[in-house]
């Protein structure tokens, strides 16, 4: 929980879910999700993370315990009305194949009785928000790529401007490159919209990337640990969590720390390797008399992990640092990066 | 077998009347069949235990010989168009019911789930999501039922109705082949035209199935 990040939007209080066949999907869950934050639920399949998500908009009702959204017990509300007030992005988009993209996005405004013209105008606006062309609005879902369909799914969930967004493995079915793009876009959108997002995934990297807090579930519906990504990576509660975070747990933590603030020195001149710049002082490559090696310049927003990787790959052990325009500002040594990597861990341990 | 073209020329009015009467009987049957099948199919689709019962019942009805159906209906509705339409309707049920249930089954679970999660209430989901998506399969049933009814109307000649079927009895009784041939050709044409129209209707109603990416 992040203190001071606004009040709680979603609260689970001693929630239990047993299905009629006897399996316990969620076991005595108490969990709080702050307003305007992204809570990621992770765990292997059958750990209850999806059931937890689906109890928020009453796609599943709890066996016991209370769930409050915006302070109100969900069971006191009409299920359909509640669902219209909560955005839902489903696995593999779940778009309506018989409706155009525009009408798919307009679904909830139409259910709310906003009128077709107004709903379509809003949908057209959202097409742009999620990075789709106005022309794609007239198409049918099957005419779009998987990544585009997911964007439509997000737009549809945002159409009635709900304060809460539920996302059930929304990027699970697209290839890694598109997935990274979609994650970036979600982070960009979230900066603008500040929704309370509950995001289910089994991909820990996705969780670390998107989450303000991460809740890790174990089979049988037990919540094992809920913490910020850096706290989780620095101080996993037990071996289960440590295993789940994977062998590169130490490196993953570095992905959360930006390069900003790490000292840089002027680029060396006259060594064996020379950093070649173009006319606008943008790094092109490392060069000796007979070879050229690629350089991957990093900006302040890039992570310590990227810097560590580049410092190992760089023939000089130096990382080229650039400003927003891509012009060289200086270099940082491998030693400097190592030192700050250690510091990042030390800070996370005590935070 | 030669065709007496002058007979055709002399009877165009009669032939037109019979053709329309024939078509009206068949289409009424399909229409009533749909009105009965749709709610029953929804019930059979939603309540598993009733599915076997309803589909089985429609199968049993289908096996009753058509002439027997008309005879059994005589005390109820007499020698009327109503008897013809009721009889034909019973036969459309087997196709329409089965196809509508299968059409509803074919709607992807993900899509139904999405409708529910967006806050669509069950009746609206049925009307705006499930039935539209089931339409291609339902329409396949409607086409079969229509062609089947058009061919079956003639049997009602037995109770004094039967549309173009009357041409067959007429030709048979007078040992005069022309009306029989004309009846067969007109029945075939009716079936072809009706089927083509239904294909067109389906094309108009299901724009999302047209351009496959």
pLDDT tens string A254-296: 988 899 889 998 888 878 888 889 989 999 999 988 889 999 9
- A144 within a domain of the structure (yes/no): yes
Mean of pLDDT values over A113-120: 92
- A109 within a domain of the structure (yes/no): yes
Structural domain spans, chain B: 12-202
Give me the helices (H) in chain B, please. 5-10, 12-46, 48-63, 66-77, 81-105, 109-117, 122-125, 131-152, 165-173, 177-205
Q: What's the distance, Cα to Cα, between the start and end of chain B in Å?
A: 53
Domain count, chain A: 2
Tokens of B174: 């007078």
Q: What is the CATH number of the domain that holds A339?
A: 3.10.580.10
**Res A248: pLDDT:** 86
Query: In the predicted model, is pLDDT for residue A2 greater than 50?
Result: no
Is residue A303 domain-shared with residue A214, that is, in the same domain? Answer: no
The better pLDDT of the pair A347, A10 is held by: A10
Q: How many CB pairs under 8 A join A and B?
A: 64
Query: In the predicted model, is pLDDT for residue A138 greater than 80?
Result: yes
Rounded to whole angstroms, how far apart are CA atoms B54 and A131? 49
Is residue A156 domain-shared with residue A77, that is, in the same domain? Answer: yes
Q: Could you tell me if B117 lies within 8 Å of chain A, comparing CB atoms?
A: yes
- A257 within a domain of the structure (yes/no): no
Which residue of A59, A98, A155 is the best one to mutate when testing the B interface, meaning the one whose CB has the most B CBs within 10 A? A98
Is residue A213 domain-shared with residue A86, that is, in the same domain? Answer: yes
- A293 within a domain of the structure (yes/no): yes
**Confidence band of A173 (pLDDT split at 50, 70, 90):** confident
**Res B160: pLDDT:** 87
Q: Could you tell me if B133 lies within 8 Å of chain A, comparing CB atoms?
A: yes
Average model confidence (pLDDT) for chain A?
91
Contact A96 B115 (CB under 8 A): yes
Gap from A197 CA to chain B (nearest CA, Å) = 16
Which residue of A50, A55, A80, A116 is the best one to mutate when testing the B interface, meaning the one whose CB has the most B CBs within 10 A? A80
Is residue A130 domain-shared with residue A218, that is, in the same domain? Answer: yes
**Res A172: pLDDT:** 85
- For residue A40, what are the CA distances in angstroms to A171, A174, A205, B156, B169? 13, 19, 11, 68, 77
**Res A4: pLDDT:** 42
Is residue A133 domain-shared with residue A92, that is, in the same domain? Answer: yes
Query: In the predicted model, is pLDDT for residue A3 greater than 50?
Result: no
Q: Which CATH number does B12-202 carry?
A: 1.10.3720.10
Is residue A64 domain-shared with residue A182, that is, in the same domain? Answer: yes
The angle that helices B66-77 and B81-105 make with each other, rounded to 10 degrees, is: 120
Rounded to whole angstroms, how far apart are CA atoms B3 and B16? 18
Is residue A294 domain-shared with residue A227, that is, in the same domain? Answer: no
**Res A351: pLDDT:** 67
Q: What domain range includes position A283?
A: 274-350
Is residue A208 domain-shared with residue A333, that is, in the same domain? Answer: no
Is residue A82 domain-shared with residue A154, that is, in the same domain? Answer: yes
Tens digit of pLDDT for each residue in A220-231?
A: 899 999 999 989
- A153 within a domain of the structure (yes/no): yes
Rounded to whole angstroms, how far apart are CA atoms B197 and B26? 14
- A291 within a domain of the structure (yes/no): yes
Spell out which residues of chain A touch residue B115, defining contact as CB-CB under 8 Å.
Answer: 96
Q: What is the CATH number of the domain that holds A37?
A: 3.40.50.300
For B213, the closest of A57, A59, A143 (CB atoms) is A143
Residues of chain B with pLDDT under 50: 213
Which residue of B106, B117, B124 is the best one to mutate when testing the A interface, meaning the one whose CB has the most A CBs within 10 A? B117
Neighbours of A173 (CB within 10 A): 15
Is residue A145 domain-shared with residue A20, that is, in the same domain? Answer: yes
What residues of chain A, 147 to 186, have a C-beta less than 8 Å from chain B? 156
Query: In the predicted model, is pLDDT for residue A5 greater than 70?
Result: no
Is residue A57 domain-shared with residue A113, that is, in the same domain? Answer: yes
**Res A6: pLDDT:** 61
- A256 within a domain of the structure (yes/no): no
Is residue A93 domain-shared with residue A240, that is, in the same domain? Answer: yes
For A90, the closest of B113, B206, B211 (CB atoms) is B113
Spell out which residues of chain A touch residue B116, defining contact as CB-CB under 8 Å.
Answer: 59, 83
Mean of pLDDT values over A168-174: 88
Specify whether the backbone of B17 is left (phi greater than 0), alpha (psi in -120 to 50) or beta: alpha
Specify whether the backbone of A93 is left (phi greater than 0), alpha (psi in -120 to 50) or beta: left
Tens digit of pLDDT for each residue in B110-152?
A: 999 999 999 999 999 999 999 999 999 999 999 999 999 999 9
**Res A1: pLDDT:** 42
- A253 within a domain of the structure (yes/no): no
- Which of A214, A248, A282 is the C-terminal boundary of a domain? A248
Query: In the predicted model, is pLDDT for residue A310 greater than 60?
Result: yes
ipTM for the whole predicted complex goes beyond 0.90: no
């Amino acid at each position: 929980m992040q203190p001071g990040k606004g009040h709680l939007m979603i609260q689970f209080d001693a929630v239990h879910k047993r299905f009629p066949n006897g399996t316990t999907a969620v076991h005595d869950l108490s969990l709080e999700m702050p307003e305007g934050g992204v809570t990621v639920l992770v765990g292997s399949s059958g750990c209850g993370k999806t059931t937890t998500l689906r109890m928020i908009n009453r796609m599943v009702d709890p066996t016991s315990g209370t769930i409050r959204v915006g302070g109100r017990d969900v069971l006191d509300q009409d299920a359909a009305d509640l669902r219209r007030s909560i955005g839902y992005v489903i696995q593999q988009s779940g778009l309506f194949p018989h409706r155009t993209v525009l009408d798919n996005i307009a679904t909830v405004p139409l259910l709310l009785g906003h009128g077709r013209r107004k709903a379509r105008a809003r949908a057209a606006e959202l097409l742009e928000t999620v990075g789709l062309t106005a022309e794609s609005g007239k198409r049918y879902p099957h005419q779009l790529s998987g990544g585009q369909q997911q964007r439509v799914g997000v737009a549809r969930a945002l159409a009635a401007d709900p304060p809460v967004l539920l996302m059930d493995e929304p990027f699970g079915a697209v290839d890694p490159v598109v997935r990274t793009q979609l994650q970036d876009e979600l982070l960009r959108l979230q900066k603008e919209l500040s929704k309370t997002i509950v995001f289910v995934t089994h991909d820990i990297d996705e969780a670390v990337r998107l989450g303000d807090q991460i809740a890790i579930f174990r089979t049988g519906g037990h919540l094992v640990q809920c913490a910020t990504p850096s706290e989780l990576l620095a101080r996993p509660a037990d071996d289960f969590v440590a295993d789940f975070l994977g062998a590169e747990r130490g490196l993953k933590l570095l992905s959360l720390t930006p390069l900003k603030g790490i000292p840089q020195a002027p680029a060396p001149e006259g060594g064996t390797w020379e950093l070649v710049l173009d006319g606008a002082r943008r790094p092109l490559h490392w060069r000796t008399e007979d070879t050229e090696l690629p350089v991957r310049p990093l900006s302040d927003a890039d992570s310590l992990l990227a810097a560590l990787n580049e410092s190992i790959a760089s023939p000089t052990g130096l990382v080229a640092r650039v400003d927003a325009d891509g012009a060289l500002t200086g270099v940082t040594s491998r030693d400097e990066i190592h030192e700050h990597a250690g510091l990042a861990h030390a800070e996370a341990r005590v935070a | 077998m030669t065709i007496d073209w002058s007979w055709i020329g002399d009877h165009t009015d009669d032939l037109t009347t019979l053709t329309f009467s024939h078509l009206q009987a068949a289409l009424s049957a399909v229409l009533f069949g749909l009105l009965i099948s749709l709610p029953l199919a929804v019930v059979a689709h939603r309540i598993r235990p009733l599915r076997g019962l309803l589909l089985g019942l429609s199968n049993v009805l289908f096996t009753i010989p058509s002439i027997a159906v008309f005879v059994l209906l005589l005390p109820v509705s007499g020698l009327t168009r109503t008897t013809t339409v009721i009889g034909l309707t019973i036969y459309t049920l087997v196709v329409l019911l089965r196809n509508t249930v299968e059409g509803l089954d074919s709607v992807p679970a993900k899509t139904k789930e999405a409708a529910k999660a967006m806050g669509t209430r069950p009746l609206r989901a049925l009307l705006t999501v499930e039935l539209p998506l089931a339409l291609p399969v339902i329409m396949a049933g409607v086409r079969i039922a229509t062609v089947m009814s058009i061919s079956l109307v003639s049997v009602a000649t037995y109770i004094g109705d039967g549309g173009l079927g009357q041409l067959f009895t007429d030709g048979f009784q007078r040992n005069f082949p022309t009306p029989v041939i004309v009846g067969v050709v007109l029945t075939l044409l009716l079936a072809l035209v009706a089927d083509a129209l239904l294909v067109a209707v389906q094309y108009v109603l299901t724009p999302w199935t047209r351009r496959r990416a």
